[in-house]
Each structure stands twice: as C-alpha cells, then as structure tokens.
Structure 1
Amino acid sequence: MKLLLRLFAYSLLTVAALCIAIVLFGVGNKPEVIGLGWELTHDDIARAKKILHEGAQIKPHELGTIELTESDLNLAGNYLLNRYWKSAVYIQLKNNKLRFNVTVTLPDNILGKFLNISFRLGNDSIYELPGITKFKVGKLLLPARLAAWVIQRVIQNTQLREYYILATQPIKAVAIDQEKVTLTYFSSAETLRQARNFLSDSSANPAQAVYQQKLAEIVANHDPEWRLSLAELLQPMFQLALNRSTPDNAIEENRLVIFTVNDYVNKQQIPKLLAVSGATSTGNPQYSPFMYKRIDLAQHFIGAAALTASVNSKLAKVMGEQKELSDADGGSGFSFIDLAADKAGTRFGEIATSTPENAQRIQKAMSGIRSYSEFMPDPRDLPEKMDVEEFKARFGTINSPEYQKVSKEIDARIAALSIYQIRSGK
C-alpha cells in the first residue's frame, strides 16, 4: 500500500512539474506560429466538405480509407483550433512523421499573451496509432515518453477521454509518408450513433441551462394563434443576459444566448428545452421562428451568428456564400435573400462577442427591440432561386462587379441599422 501511495504521489508531482514547465517556458509575448489572423478561402471550404463527404461514404461495418495531404491537415487543424481560441497551427510531413507547431492566444495575464508548443508524431507500424516522438514547450525540450505519459493521464481523467475514444476507436491503420497521411478505419453502427449523439449535445456547458430554461418558458407561453418571431426569442433572452452580465462575462453570456437560440431554431432541440423547464414534449406545440414571413431567414441569421460566436466572422462569411453556391447547383437555387440573412447574422455575432463594451451595448439594444427589422433589414427585393446557369449568366462569379454590387448593397442595408453602428472590435 505504501508503494502504491508513493507511486501516486510521484505521479502527481510529475504532472505538477510538467504543468509548471509549460507555464514558465511555453507562455510568452511572441507567437512562434505566424497566422493568428488565419482565414478560410472558398477552396478551403470546398476541400473541407470533400473530406467530410469522403469520410461519410463508408457504411457501418465496412472498411474505408481517407488520404490527407499536408494542406488538408493544416486546414483541419486551424479550423478545429479556431472554433475555440484565436490560434494557429502549422503541420508538416517530414521523415514519415507529423510535425506540429501550435500557438494559442491566452486571456489577459501577467505571464504572456501566447502559449507555444511543438511536437512530433510518428509510428513504427501502420497498425499502431502515432505517438509522441518529440515535445517542446517554447524552447524547453521535454522527454517524449514523459510528455506522452502525462498527456495520456490527462486524457483518461478528463472529458477529453470521450473525444479521444470517438476519434481513435474506428482507426485501424495510419500510414505517414512524405506527401500524405492515409487513415484506414472501420466504423460500427454503434460507434456512429455514439459520435452523433456526443457531438450534437449542446448541454455540455452547465451555464447554458439558465438560458434553456428561459427559452422553454418563452415557447410555452407563446400565443399559438400567432407566428413566433425570432425577435420574440432574442429580446427576452438578451434582457436576461443584460441582467446577468458584468464586463468580465458579457461576451460569454451573449455566446450562451446565441447558442441556445440556434439550438432551438436550427437543431429543433425542443424536447431537451422542455425537459429543462420540467415540462414534457408530449402535446406541446412546436413553433418555427420566422423573419419577414420566412422560416429560412431566421435559420440563416442565427446560424451565422452562432458560427461567428464560436469560430470567427471570416469563416461564417465564406460558409454563407458557399452554401448559396451549392444551392445553385442542384439545390433550392442561389439566394441573395438568404445571403443577406447570413451577412446580418455574421455582423450580429461579431459585435455581440467582440469586446465587453460592445457585448453590453448589444444586450441593451436587443432588450428594447420591438421587431426583427431592427437587426435584420428587409431583403425581399433581392434576387433568389437562381440555378447555376442563371447565376453565371447574371453574375458570373462571386468576384464579378455585378455580384459585388449586390453584396455591397446588402452590406449598406445592414450598416444602416442603428444596432450595428458601433465598433466591432475585431
């Protein structure tokens, strides 16, 4: 027993020592990876969608492969990191290993603005997952085995364990060469079900419960004789955020409002919201929020706001345009009306999560609104439902003067609304 306690104590001391080393040597005021202003292009989005499509092609209980080039890995890595922090990662394929250089921005503190870490992953056999072969915190080189052991302990004893299992369990082989990484995987129906349920769960943040409760009350008290306006959801939600906010937490409170409303509008998580309020979903009406008598406008607006709040406005802008271009090719057709809602939602999310001052300004403004027209300009006179041929005939590409004229007109309409006439802070 004494031996076990001693080993446990040594383990804690090792973890503590590594944490101290990370703080002392990894935190500084200079980023080691250039690209904190990282921006996705339309080609990036197209490739990302192709990667996801390739990964989804495999059916349960069938073996599949996917190849990722160096550019694919950098696209995926930067996308994932920028969902949560302003950050940058540079990934290289060299000597049959993956080289990572990561810089993450930190909240204001006395030690420094950035955390810089670099490491290498490699494997001796394609039938084993790549492991750490080198690990540096700033300029400090740590033993690879020690770093791997500590990281493994952290994964096993935190919520990262579920992500790790879902990401690695289906993988059967990983081949790393000078040009690409080839993943061979086998997904069972149960694995796919677990991944879908886990990744779509929006209740991971306990702080969101108070807003889920409020939204459930709004829905339950709505007059069924009337349509449910998006403004009817956002006005009282931001009033609650205003009452709960200080300069220190205003941005996070706004994020919670936007995420909760987006869950309702775009993910239809009504049973979950009703469960939070203590009600049951049986027999309760389900309303689809609208703007300008259109449900899709509310979906586009709050979806773009949520994407901006969780990632960044540049990504939201590109994805909005990409969605409309894909609709032109066999979908419902390219719509400048939908694009206007995307742009307005992006601007809304940008301001609401930019600075503490702007976060509280938007709370006060939204607490007093009477109509969605105060945050979404009327787009109904704009062209829509254009297939590929019509779009190319009228506008050519999204870089043409004709397209840019309409895009700038949308921007001008959004900018004219008083709620957006404040600094974005980004």
Structure 2
Amino acid sequence: MSLSKISSLLLLPLLVIILSGPFIILLLAVQTEPAVTNPPALTSNEISRVEQLLLKSAPQSPSARSEQNLQLNADELNLLLSYSINMTRLSPEWAAVLTLADNTVNTKLTFQLVDGWIPLYLNFGVNLILNDSLLVLDKLVVGKLQVPNGLLELASTSMRSYLDGENKTYQNFSELIANVDQISVIQDRIYVTLQWDPILISRISEQAQQLFISDEDQQRIMEHYRLISEIAAAIPANLRAVSLNTFLVPMFTAANEKSKSGSDPIAENRTLFQTLAIYVNHEDISQLLGETLAKEMQPAKYIEVRLQRRQDLAQHLVSIAAITASTGADFAQLLSTTKEAYDARYRSGFSFSDLTANTVGVYLASYSTQDPATAIEMQKRLATLQTESDYMPEVGDNRDGISESDFAAIYSDRNSPEYQRRLADIQALIKTRALFKGLD
C-alpha cells in the first residue's frame, strides 16, 4: 500500500471527528428533561412576601448615599428570582433555582428550546465561589458538557476588555460591583454590604429603560414630546397649573389619528404614557431617548399638572400608567403597594388617595395596551373626556397619612380580609367611571 493511501486512511477518521464535533457537542449540551421546572403561580401571600422583602431592602432615604446591609436566605432569593422571571415574561421558557452553601452559590437554569412531542432543553449549572469578598465564576456546565476553565477565563477576559471601552452600561455595572464592600455566604444565607449611590442607580435605571425602547418607539416618543411642547406653549402664562385632561385629550386625539393611518395603537398608547410621565414628573426626556436623540428635542415649557387640584395624584396616576404599559399590571401593582408601605414606614404615611390614583393608572394603561381593538377604543374615549371624574373617583374623604403602626392596628396586614375589602371597594368604584364602563 502506498504512503498516500495510508495517509488518506489515517486522515479519514480525523476528518470524521472534526466534522462531527459540533454535533457531538450539541448532543452533550441539549437534553430532553429540564433540570428545573417552573414553579406554580405565586400566591397572594408570596407576593406579599416579595413586597416585604423589597421594603426591607430599600434604603431609608433613597436620594442620599448610604451604607446598606442586606441578608437573604435561599428561600427568599428563589422567591425574588421566580417573581423576576415572571415579571420579565421569561417564563415559561426559562426557569431557575439557587442553592447556598458556605462560600458558594449554585444556580441551575433551564431554557426550553422546543416544546413538542420530544421537548428539548438547555440546562445550565453555574457555580460561584467567594474570592476576596466577591462571587466569581468557578464552573459552568451545559447539559453534560463542562466548559473548560481556560475557555471561561479567555471568554471572560475578552468580553471585559471589549465592554470596558465600548459599553457604558457595563461601565456602570462595574461601578455598581465596585460599590459592594463585602459578600459572605454562611450556610443557607447570603450577607451583602454595599454603598448605595442614588446617582449611579438612576443611570442604570435609565439605561435599562432604554434597552426596551425600540427605534420605532423612540420616534413615537419624540412625536409625543413635540405635541406636549405645543400644548404647554399654548397654555396662558398666567396659569400656574392645569388639569391632567389638558394633556390627555389632545394627546389621545393625535394617537387615534395615527392609529387610523396604520400605526400600532398599543405602541402609540404605551409610548404616550411613558412620555407624559416624564413631563408630569418634570424629568428629562433623555431618560427615554438617550443623550444623543434628546439633544434634537427642544425642552418643553413646564407647567404643573394636577388631578383633583393635587399635583401628587397626577404624578401617581401617570407614573403607574407608564410602568403598567411598559412592564405589566402585576409589577405596577406590586410597586404601588410597596411604595405606600414605604411611605407608611419612612415618610408621609400610607395613603388610600395615592393608592386610588395608582389603581386608576393601572386600569388606564392595562386597557390601553390590552389588544389593538381595546387600545383604539381607549384612544377614542380619552380623546372625548369631559371631566376628571370620568376616570378618577373623588378621594377627598379618604383617611391618609396612616403610619405603619396605625395601619397594622386597623388592617393587620395587606392580606387581611379588611384590607382586601377596602381594595375591592376602590376597584369597584373605579370600574363605575364612564371611561371604563363596558370594557370587560
């Protein structure tokens, strides 16, 4: 046998191995059983626990720098993780669970690739260990395949090197990590000491908002903001404040005209609430557009916007409407009740007036982004508003400023029958408003 034939015979198996390598890796990585299954929907008690965990973790003065000490056990971490997956609409494709041990955090994640007769999953095992008071990646397993540590280090170094110079979000995230003074994991509990930096948190929040705003939505936001500028410019200089309806009516009239011309009514309504919330709260439009696009916009003349002669009610309603339109009613309601609990503990006290305005905001945005037909119907109704009472019940007789101790004495907690009845009464009253009739 010639040397060339021998070489060919030797090269053939090598070629087969090279060509089949990706297929073998795929077989090792993809599995037919999930490592983690989705838990059932959170109960009202579990959602109440999420509220309490958020309240416990919040700084007493969010606008001031301070040292924060957090501690959570594995059960609490998994509750927050499960809620986050649901809130970000990653479920049911994604599922995850954490376990804690001394100096170690282990995470299992499952991503469903195919849901059919033979379902396929990517299962990840991520092991983090404490190193110099910070958690670092120790091991990554995908299906039955462990990623070599050398490859992990190379990929991590290359990614950090690229992002350090090109990505502001990563730079802010790196700064956030640098603000963590201490992490310790003892048995099934993690302890974190960090420096709360409100300016940094604000920057990260703005960048997170912008990640979920498409180029098309940015153009819609710019159009909404130009209309706000026109409305504000037409308000007589001697007026100190105007009703929320001054903006709602012309803005939804314009949104309805755009929908008639073929624009997505849900996107029009969502971006309208986002833009109006920026204006009503006297914030910078760059939060939604970023610095570059914001420079193209002339700042709108600001005038105070009120609801039932109160600026805070207008701010509550529009802010929660924007959050509902962006992230969904469940998260907006959680944020609303947690914020009132925070006020009861640290600030002006629990307010049923604020909660009513928040709930109106949830209903307003939920219907306005429910489906195209309902979105258009809401545009028509909001374009023909007559009075604020068309959507907002009178709150003048509410008892507000309730301290945490007084709230506990009256209602025990937010799962009590008494408190749930009060919430049901508020919701029933809102549904009697002209704007919401016949929508269910």
TM > 0.5: yes
Residue correspondences, number = 394
Alignment CA distance shift 1:399-1:181 (3 Å): closer
Say which of 403, 406, 410 aligns to 2:422. Answer: 406
Q: State the alpha-carbon separation in 2 of the partners of residues 147 and 317 from structure 1.
A: 40
- What is the match of residue 262 of structure 1? 277
Q: State the alpha-carbon separation in 1 of the partners of residues 26 and 156 from structure 2.
A: 14
Could you tell me the TM-score, scaled by structure 2's length? 0.70
After TM superposition, give the deviation of residue 293 of structure 1 in Å: 1.1
After TM superposition, give the deviation of residue 346 of structure 1 in Å: 1.5
Say which of 341, 354, 361 aligns to 1:338. Answer: 354
Q: State the alpha-carbon separation in 2 of the partners of residues 119 and 344 from structure 1.
A: 43
Alignment CA distance shift 1:78-1:401 (3 Å): closer
CA contact (8 A) 1:328 1:385 kept: yes
- The 3-state SS of whatever aligns with 1:289 is strand
- What is the match of residue 372 of structure 2? 356
Q: State the alpha-carbon separation in 2 of the partners of residues 251 and 31 from structure 1.
A: 37
Say which of 42, 45, 55 aligns to 2:51. Answer: 45
CA contact (8 A) 1:341 1:376 kept: yes
After TM superposition, give the deviation of residue 362 of structure 1 in Å: 2.1
Q: State the alpha-carbon separation in 2 of the partners of residues 333 and 318 from structure 1.
A: 17
- What is the match of residue 320 of structure 2? 304
The reply to whether residue 69 of structure 1 matches residue 83 of structure 2 is: no
- What is the match of residue 212 of structure 1? 225
Deviates more, 1:336-345 or 1:403-412: 403-412
**AA in 1 matched with 2:269:** N
Say which of 216, 230, 238 aligns to 2:244. Answer: 230
Residues 24-69 of structure 1: per-residue CA shift (max 9 Å, x gap): 959x999954247446623322222222328979957x8x754332
Q: State the alpha-carbon separation in 1 of the partners of residues 437 and 225 from structure 2.
A: 30
Say which of 268, 273, 276 aligns to 1:253. Answer: 268
CA contact (8 A) 1:127 1:174 kept: yes
CA contact (8 A) 1:247 1:356 kept: no
Deviates more, 1:396-405 or 1:231-240: 396-405
After TM superposition, give the deviation of residue 345 of structure 1 in Å: 1.2
- What is the match of residue 432 of structure 2? 416
- What is the match of residue 167 of structure 1? 176
**AA in 1 matched with 2:246:** E
Alignment CA distance shift 1:349-1:195 (3 Å): same
CA contact (8 A) 2:60 2:346 kept: no
Structure possessing the higher radius of gyration over alpha carbons: 2
Structure 1 alignment gaps of length 5 or more: 1-16
Alignment CA distance shift 1:233-1:182 (3 Å): same
After TM superposition, give the deviation of residue 305 of structure 1 in Å: 1.7
Say which of 106, 114, 122 aligns to 1:99. Answer: 106
- The 3-state SS of whatever aligns with 1:123 is strand
CA contact (8 A) 1:317 1:343 kept: yes
Q: State the alpha-carbon separation in 2 of the partners of residues 409 and 251 from structure 1.
A: 29
- What is the match of residue 19 of structure 2? none
Residues 104-135 of structure 1: per-residue CA shift (max 9 Å, x gap): 899xx99x999865331313624454216124
Residues 225-275 of structure 1: per-residue CA shift (max 9 Å, x gap): 443222222233333433444999433332222222222223533798996
Structure 2 alignment gaps of length 5 or more: 1-21
Alignment CA distance shift 1:420-1:295 (3 Å): same
**AA in 2 matched with 1:347:** Y
Could you tell me the TM-score, scaled by structure 1's length? 0.72
Q: State the alpha-carbon separation in 2 of the partners of residues 148 and 258 from structure 1.
A: 44
Say which of 279, 285, 310 aligns to 2:298. Answer: 279
CA contact (8 A) 1:337 1:382 kept: yes
Say which of 319, 329, 341 aligns to 2:335. Answer: 319
Alignment CA distance shift 1:331-1:363 (3 Å): same
- The 3-state SS of whatever aligns with 1:41 is helix
- What is the match of residue 97 of structure 2? 90
Q: State the alpha-carbon separation in 2 of the partners of residues 271 and 143 from structure 1.
A: 41
- The 3-state SS of whatever aligns with 1:167 is helix
- What is the match of residue 11 of structure 1? none
**AA in 1 matched with 2:235:** H
- What is the match of residue 12 of structure 1? none
Q: State the alpha-carbon separation in 2 of the partners of residues 258 and 347 from structure 1.
A: 13
- The 3-state SS of whatever aligns with 2:99 is strand
The reply to whether residue 242 of structure 1 matches residue 256 of structure 2 is: yes
Residues 44-100 of structure 1: per-residue CA shift (max 9 Å, x gap): 22222222328979957x8x7543322343344345545543535432225754333
**AA in 1 matched with 2:189:** K
Q: State the alpha-carbon separation in 2 of the partners of residues 172 and 84 from structure 1.
A: 29
- The 3-state SS of whatever aligns with 2:431 is helix
Taking only aligned residues, the RMSD between alpha carbons, in angstroms, comes to: 4.6
**AA in 1 matched with 2:179:** P
Alignment CA distance shift 1:35-1:310 (3 Å): farther
Deviates more, 1:260-269 or 1:152-161: 152-161
Say which of 381, 387, 390 aligns to 1:365. Answer: 381
CA contact (8 A) 1:351 1:362 kept: yes
**AA in 2 matched with 1:170:** N
Residues 132-164 of structure 1: per-residue CA shift (max 9 Å, x gap): 61243xx57462655776577667366652453
The reply to whether residue 292 of structure 1 matches residue 299 of structure 2 is: no
